[in-house]
Amino acid sequence: MVRQIELRGPDDTPLTATSWPEWQEAEIAGRLRQYEAAFGATAGIPLREWDGYEPQPLTSAEFESAWLWARAFLGGGGRPADVRVRSYPGAPP
């Protein structure tokens, strides 16, 4: 896993949008608490090992769209008005 997105609920509210390299960099720099407060924590174990986890298949383009949406949402403190989110399955209108 290099990047991870976790969305929840009927409106796909972003909970996490983490990058393993960014997470490692934040840990080394002593900024892990700030990074996780903004973007969440990495899964720690492979997602396929989560109980009750049902992945949603995405193309690379759909993942990029969801990633941009989640990062803007989490980094900006709320839903960004200028990010089109309906370009991946299940995205909010």
- Write the pLDDT tens digit of every residue in 7-66: 888 878 888 899 888 888 999 999 999 989 889 888 777 767 777 777 777 888 888 888
Confidence of residue 77 (pLDDT cuts 50, 70, 90): low
Q: What is the pLDDT of residue 84?
A: 42
The answer, yes or no, to whether residue 85 has pLDDT greater than 60, is no
Written as one string, the DSSP assignment of 7-49 is EETTTTEEEEEEEHHHHHHHHHHT-HHHHHHHH----SS-GGG
Contacts of 52 (CB under 8 A, 6+ apart): none
Name the nearest CA neighbour of 3 among 78, 86, 74, 87: 74
